[in-house]
Amino acid sequence: MGTTGRRKTVHFSKIYSFQCCRRRNFDNDDGGGSNLGGPGFSRVVYCNDSGVSEVGSQSYADNYVRSTKYTPLTFFPKALFEQFRRVANFFFLVTAILSFTDLAPYSAVSAVLPLAVVIAASMAKEGLEDYQRQKQDHEVNNRKVKVHRGGGVFESREWKNLRVGDIVKVEKDEFFPADLLLLSSSYDDAICYVETMNLDGETNLKLKQSLESTSTFNNDSSFNNFKACIKCEDPNASLYTFVGTMEFQGQEYSLSPQQLLLRDSKLRNTDYIYGAVIFTGHGTKVIQNSTDPPSKRSGIERRMDNIIYFMFFIMFIISLLGSVYFGIVTKQDLNGDIQKRWYLGPDRSDIYFDPNRAPVAAIYHFLTGLLLYSYLIPISLYVSIEVVKILQTIFINNDINMYYEEADKPAHARTSNLTEELGQIDTILSDKTGTLTCNSMEFIKCSIAGTAYGRGVTEVEKAMAKRMGSPLIINGRDRYFDEDDDNDGETSLFVKGYNFEDERITNDYWVHEPCSDVIQKFFRLLAICHTAIPDVDEETGKVTYEAESPDEAAFVIAARELGFEFYKRTQTTVAFLELDPVSKKKVERTYELLNVLEFNSARKRMSVIVRDEDGKLLLLSKGADSVMFARLAKDGREFEEKTRKHVNEYADAGLRTLILAYRELTEEEYKEFNEKFTKAKNLVSADRDDLIDEATEEIEKDLILLGATAVEDKLQKGVPECIDKLAQAGIKIWVLTGDKMETAINIGFSCSLLREGMKQITIILESPEIIAAEKAGDEHLITKVSKESVKKQILEGKAQVTASTTDPCALIIDGKSLAYALHDDVKDMFLELAVGCASVICCRSSPKQKALVTRLVKKGTGKTTLAIGDGANDVGMLQEADIGIGIIGVEGMQAVMSSDIAIAQFRFLERLLLVHGHWCYRRISSMICYFFYKNIVFGTTIFLYEAYTSFSGQSAYNDWYLSLYNVFFTSLPAIALGVFDQDVSARFCLKFPLLYQEGVQNALFSWRRIFGWMLNGLASSIIIFFLCINSLDPESYRKNGKTAGMEVVGSTLYTSVVWVVNCQMALSISYFTLIQHIFIWGGIIFWYIFQLCYGALPATISTTAYKVFVETLAPAAAYWLVTMFVVIAALTPYFCYKAVQMRFFPPYHGMIQWIRYEGNCDDPDYVNMVRQRSIRTTTVGFTARSIARDNTLFHLNLGRHASK
């Protein structure tokens, strides 16, 4: 038994988790309604009982955690399987196996080595990534924690050796090694503070508290005889729920999430805690949440697969044609005693050239042809793309222009698979709060007793003043706003979260207001109705708060700044200072805190039940207007009309509002509620939450309205400018938000998504038929009428879009309407309307609706979509989109952990897409086209030589020439192209945003461009082959009269190919770096060095290359002249094409390049002419708004002149 003498406490879980953990007599409890022992609730944990625990815990996971994909035993089989799942790699594996047969026209080693190099490189990358994960696992698994070994003695033990049921002691700033049940802590009331940043990214501290029955176990020795049995739910991924009971000293106690300490959380502001291990290793909730993200492949990769299939088809066709021709010619070699090609000895040939078995010989030749023409497929393409994408993500991660210094957060590409997709975005689907806005709330206005207070000016009001060109009227005062007044309102902002100005209630002047009693209740509610934790600085006495949300922090801070300072919270009380209207002095008020009914997305409100100093029972509540007004009592609606008006005005100003109300409770009402509530909370069954909601529903009614709060969530810096640039780039922007329609519309205006003159198509469900159906309560009728109304409004909207030839349209739809618009028989109509609009705003959207809209846009348009958000409610949207961008904000890390790329501010999206996206798309596209070009050049020369030699199966090149072409002589320049090339600089990418449309329209990787590069390769190979053959045959090659043999022709052909493909690369590059020079010209030099070294090897190794370069090629002037002439001739068609195109039909990037090359950067006329091509009449943004305004003024002036 633990020590005694400590004061008794009431469970804090009663306050924070809707629970009064009353103990129940275990022996007499019938367990009615409990699911313990059933499916999903079968876990039994014996605490501190080594004998039982050892046996019982063997069926549970140990605490060793492995996040690696491979183990030493499975690495080779699994990694090889992953590599050969790719069709190209599997094909090369088959050819490598066939190279060991007599069918192969080259040696087996020369076929196996390049495949081995490519596979080894890919496996090395996989192994390195897995090794990094293994190092992290090793570090985590070998952390130490103190574990009770018996006799009240604790010893250090590695995390990996923990078992279910162990008692552990975790000290300040240490991580919890497993999911623990909190037993006690260094605080008298057994509370502790926990940081969950590793779980959900939230930096605010969470308060946990143990059961009262175990809170006295406050030192090591007290656990000598501690025994308990815990029955709870099985391991699951829910971070915020926990159901179970603990049997201790003959009593059974209900457990809640308030007692659960999750693995990877950190103990803060607490010296130590004791806990019992409940879930270990892969059974812990954080590991249960570590699911693999959905697999995403870029459109370019999918098209690249189709190109490879096409190349397989070409290879199959030419092999078939060659084998048919070979079979016919072979059959004609022997006609009786007449031998047509006597020098081949057809009468004594083996099966491969036997005229009597010509069909079989043709089949064998077909297989030989497949082996020989396999060089049409670039074997190193996949591994090269992986290397390039990794390097591209490094550039993104290290871009100083996407580094957010204030939060010390750089951009972070969490996957390298989708870099080129960044350059092809057609539609952006964005969250609003925390994404477009800061999610840093400031208390700026309020409505109390029907009177509006607060003279602050919001950014939306400033934007409205700009639009209207009129003064702002704030509480009867005119406020003029001009372009240079952007910082107005910030000069007086001394406190974060508070931007309230109104001399009527500040500095304690509220006591002179007509309804001072209501004002007092209003701010008392703000000081009491919350779950914030105060932190008093002992030196300065200043109070700061740890709150669960920015909204809640703003409310508590506002109450403090206006004289109602919440400064102390105990398990059962809340204390604050306020001005006594009678004595005019600050007095301390202490309210007994009985229950907290927490906020969630379904309830849309939170309440507390307290007892004041006079013994009155009060229910204090705050929540969304959509639920609060309906809960007001008949005699509590005195200020409803004025409050509704103010709430609508606040929404128009872009503010987030909450309604505040209260009621007095009788002792009988509270007793009845508390019994029902406690009974529902102690149930362990599927309908537990429903019963809790039922209990709270009955008490949260007949409220008396006090007023409304209004907080501002300001736009992030640079959001309007970023949206303007993205709109100029032709990217459509949709906003999916849970805010009210009025708020979303006004935010749309302030960030230039909407503008004056833009036709607004609004889809809402407010027709008389729907209202009548709702009053009747007929769900079937409501659904039918609502769906028909949505259909009708969509059709009317489509008609408006069709009729509007000049002014763009904006679509605004609320969540109720959206639910029907997403039905299978309506969604295509809705999508057609939305695509025809310049901007789309979906209000009151649920997380599921966000994901469904994203899926609809992605699949319905077939275009690349990007979703961006910062909160857990955006996770589905991010995973559904082609690319998910997580904002590193204040709503936690759920969105970031589910994203493909994380950035700190929305404005960085401009550079991420218009610069990195454009570059990555162009680089990858050009690199893949070049890969197929160089292999077609090489493979076609092999085919032409085959045809030249009657499809004999003889290769034009030495075995090792074949093997090393893709690996050493031509791949590195392609990789350099994919990493470093720039068609235009970053400055010009941002200055001329229409350049981005090259990726959206897939202009650089269209079938036209791909076949163009293939045709270029075909033409180059034909020129190379026939010029080389005709130049070297049949004239004498050397002074001694010898003609060029196969080895000389093959080497000359190969030299010409290496020169042509590398020089083609030099012509294609727009931006040279030292690395590209080294790779291009170094590849050519390396070819000559290789000829020297390889030719010097013994003839048994170098075979046909033995001393060919030294003794035959290098001394012959014809070799050098032919190479030079062939290179010039082969590149001339491409050079002429590009010259004509750039001079007479320049693409958009070509026009920008002319600006740079000809020094026209300072020529405003030419630059503006080019830039005007990037502005469209249907785009949004302040640039388009400015042009629309200028056009309006122009037409007005024309009208005035005409009237004169």
Catalytic residues: 431
- CA distances to 408, 562, 920, 928, 929 from 1006, rounded to whole Å, are 40, 64, 16, 12, 10
Q: Of 847, 815, 811, nearest to 829 (Cα)?
A: 811
835/120 Cα distance (integer angstroms): 47
Strand order in the sheet with 251-255: 24-25, 251-255, 244-248, 228-232, 43-47
Cis status, amide bond into 294, omega within 30 of 0? no
Coil, strand or helix at 211: coil
60/814 Cα distance (integer angstroms): 48
604 token code pair:
């849309």
Q: Are 451 and 649 in contact (CB under 8 A)?
A: no
* β strands within 172-227, DSSP E: 179-185, 191-195, 206-209
Give 150's strand partners.
153
| CA–centroid distance for 49 within its chain | 46
199/179 Cα distance (integer angstroms): 12
799/840 Cα distance (integer angstroms): 17
Place of tokens 């769900």: 779
Q: Of 279, 293, 175, nearest to 237 (Cα)?
A: 279
Q: Of 150, 252, 271, nearest to 211 (Cα)?
A: 252
- Where do runs of H (alpha helix) occur along 841-884? 847-861, 875-880
604/627 Cα distance (integer angstroms): 7
CA angle 832-836-841, nearest 5°? 90
**Per-residue three-class SS string for 55-87:** HHHCCCCCCCCCCCCCCCCCHHHHHHHHHHCCH
DSSP states along 230-281: EEEPPP-S-TT---EEEEETTEEEEE-GGGEE-TT-EEES-SEEEEEEEE-G
User: Buried b vs exposed e over 186-223: b needs ≥16 C-beta within 10 Å?
Assistant: bbebbbbbbbbeebbbbebbbbbbbbbbbbbbbebebb
Q: How far apart are the first and last CA of the chain?
A: 102
Residue 472 CB coordination number (10 Å): 18
Q: Of 538, 899, 459, 998, nearest to 713 (Cα)?
A: 459
947/993 Cα distance (integer angstroms): 50
197/201 Cα distance (integer angstroms): 4
Give 1117: exposed, middle or buried? Use CB within 10 Å, 0-12, 13-18, 19+.
exposed
- CA distances to 88, 295, 925 from 306, rounded to whole Å, are 11, 19, 14
Q: What are phi and psi of 809, to 5 degrees?
A: -120, 150
CA angle 1050-1051-1052, nearest 5°? 90
639/987 Cα distance (integer angstroms): 56
Residues comprising the chain, all counted? 1204
883 token code pair:
């690319």
Helix then strand then coil, % of the chain, to nearest 5: 50, 20, 30
